[in-house]
């Protein structure tokens, strides 16, 4: 552990300014003053020294995060804001263009609009679907006395599967010609969509994929449901309420903080939707320079931004997209927080 010895050594050096060392009275012929007889000034000084020492320690403990925050968060944020007002191709220096990038986004870029439409599809349909599914499965799990841990494992495990592997597995499942899903639909004589190969069906197929990996949401809902006090259920049962009224008047208010949490994180994740769409789009088009296939139906915001930034080397333009995304994320989060007081019930408050 060589860095720890370095840590302690540099604390002892940094916490002792010269002036302070000089201020400590030199031992006299009578010997060092006894601690009980220390004057008030001395006590104050030693307290100050202790405080300095403490802040030195805190600084050293916090140092990894401070460096990381400055280098990998604060500077890049400011730099990308600056880039967003420039034309920048990584080779030449950034050229100031003012609001040009932002104007171009809204006026001359049809793919930008398409990317927003596609992303909104996931936000508006995917997030509520995941939350409803999570609550539904979690409710069923609370009622199951036996086998609950088996079910929980089965529903949770897919969330751990690597996204690339999941995307490819669903390509096999939803293969229009040979996939088991269409085999089943064919046997039932329902239509056989082309799924990932049809621009109208590619996003619904992604929603199904999203449900398969919704286990995380389900787990936190399960924990929340198990935390609802039993008396509340007993009380409303005595009042003669049916399951629907119980659900509306007890369950939903009691788990509303978790619903809130799931919606906020779901929206943030949906706005950044990337990997599955990238992998599936590549596999569908059999090439890597065209993102969001088929026909741009899987071109999500983060994909278009990536395409602009790296293969396209339009760093300034992509930075403008990044900041727009950041602002939208903040506004969405703020709106959710502001409205939350109307529908989120926190136990222990407002009773």
Q: Is 54 among the residues that bind another protein (CB under 8 A)?
A: yes
Under rule CB under 8 A, which residues in 309-328 are in contact with another protein? 309-310, 315, 318-319, 321-323, 325-326
For the beta carbon of residue 169, count every other beta carbon within 10 angstroms.
Answer: 14
Taking contact as CB under 8 A, which single stretch among the options 20-28, 103-111, 115-123, 341-349 is the one that binds another protein? 341-349
Residue listed under structure tokens 């500077």: 75
Under rule CB under 8 A, which residues in 77-136 are in contact with another protein? 77, 79-80, 83, 90
Q: Is 278 among the residues that bind another protein (CB under 8 A)?
A: yes
* Among 23, 71, 190, 334, contact with another protein (rule: CB under 8 A): 71
For the beta carbon of residue 308, count every other beta carbon within 10 angstroms.
Answer: 24
At residue 31, the 3 state secondary structure works out as strand
Taking contact as CB under 8 A, which single stretch among the options 14-22, 42-50, 120-128, 169-177 is the one that binds another protein? 169-177
Rounded to the nearest whole angstrom, what is the least distance from the CB of residue 157 to another protein in the complex? 7
Phi, psi of 31 (to 5 degrees): 95, 175
Taking contact as CB under 8 A, which single stretch among the options 26-34, 57-65, 108-116, 196-204 is the one that binds another protein? 57-65
Q: Is 151 among the residues that bind another protein (CB under 8 A)?
A: yes
How many residues interact with another protein (rule CB under 8 A)? 113
> Which residues are CB-neighbours of 253 under 8 A, at least 6 positions away?
345
For another protein, the closer CB: 194 or 220: 220
For the beta carbon of residue 318, count every other beta carbon within 10 angstroms.
Answer: 23
Q: Is 303 among the residues that bind another protein (CB under 8 A)?
A: no
Rounded to the nearest whole angstrom, what is the least distance from the CB of residue 330 to another protein in the complex? 8
* Among 10, 17, 75, 113, contact with another protein (rule: CB under 8 A): 75
Residue 267 in tokens: 């929206």
- Cβ–Cβ < 8 Å for 233, 246: yes
At residue 177, the 3 state secondary structure works out as coil
Taking contact as CB under 8 A, which single stretch among the options 13-21, 27-35, 97-105, 161-169 is the one that binds another protein? 161-169
* Among 9, 147, 200, 337, contact with another protein (rule: CB under 8 A): 147
For another protein, the closer CB: 37 or 143: 143
Beta bridge partners of 96: 86
For another protein, the closer CB: 31 or 309: 309
Q: What value does the CA radius of gyration of the chain take, rounded to a whole number of Å?
A: 29
Q: Is 336 among the residues that bind another protein (CB under 8 A)?
A: no
> Which residues are CB-neighbours of 163 under 8 A, at least 6 positions away?
275, 276, 279
For another protein, the closer CB: 95 or 183: 183
For another protein, the closer CB: 40 or 244: 244
* Among 52, 105, 120, 168, contact with another protein (rule: CB under 8 A): 168
- Cβ–Cβ < 8 Å for 179, 173: yes
275-285 vs 301-309: helix crossing angle, rounded to 10 = 70
- Cβ–Cβ < 8 Å for 8, 61: no
Maximum Cα–Cα distance across the chain:
106
- Say how far apart CA 181 and CA 170 lie, in whole Å: 10
Under rule CB under 8 A, which residues in 181-240 are in contact with another protein? 183, 212, 219-220, 223, 231-232, 234-236, 238-239
């Amino acid at each position: 552990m060589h860095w720890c010895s370095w840590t302690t050594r540099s604390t002892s050096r940094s916490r002792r300014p010269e002036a302070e060392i000089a201020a400590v009275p030199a031992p006299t012929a009578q010997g060092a003053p006894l601690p009980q007889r220390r004057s008030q000034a001395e006590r104050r000084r030693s307290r100050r020294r202790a405080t300095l020492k403490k802040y030195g320690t805190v600084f050293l403990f916090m140092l990894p995060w401070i460096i990381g925050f400055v280098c990998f968060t604060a500077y890049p944020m400011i730099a990308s804001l600056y880039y967003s007002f420039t034309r920048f191709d990584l080779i030449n220096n950034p050229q100031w263009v003012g609001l040009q990038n932002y104007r171009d986004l809204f006026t001359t870029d049809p793919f930008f609009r398409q990317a927003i439409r596609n992303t909104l599809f996931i936000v508006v349909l995917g997030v509520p679907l995941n939350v409803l599914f999570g609550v539904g499965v979690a409710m069923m799990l609370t009622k199951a006395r036996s086998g609950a841990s088996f079910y929980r494992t089965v529903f949770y495990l897919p969330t751990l599967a690597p996204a690339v592997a999941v995307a490819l597995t669903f390509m096999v499942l939803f293969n229009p010609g040979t996939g088991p899903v269409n085999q089943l639909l064919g046997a039932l004589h329902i239509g056989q969509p082309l799924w990932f190969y049809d621009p109208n069906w590619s996003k619904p197929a992604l929603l199904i994929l999203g449900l398969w990996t919704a286990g995380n949401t389900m787990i936190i809902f399960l924990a929340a449901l198990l935390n609802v006090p039993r008396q509340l259920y007993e009380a409303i049962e005595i009042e003669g309420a049916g399951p629907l009224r119980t659900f509306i008047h007890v369950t939903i208010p009691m788990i509303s903080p978790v619903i809130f949490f799931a919606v906020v994180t779901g929206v943030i994740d949906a706005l950044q939707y990337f990997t599955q769409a990238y992998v599936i789009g590549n596999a569908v088009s059999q090439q890597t320079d065209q993102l969001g296939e088929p026909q741009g139906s899987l071109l999500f915001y983060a994909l278009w931004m990536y395409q602009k930034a790296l293969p396209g080397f339009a760093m300034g333009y992509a930075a403008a997209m990044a900041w727009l995304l950041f602002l939208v994320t903040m506004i969405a989060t703020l709106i959710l927080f502001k409205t939350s007081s109307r529908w989120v019930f926190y136990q222990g408050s407002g009773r």
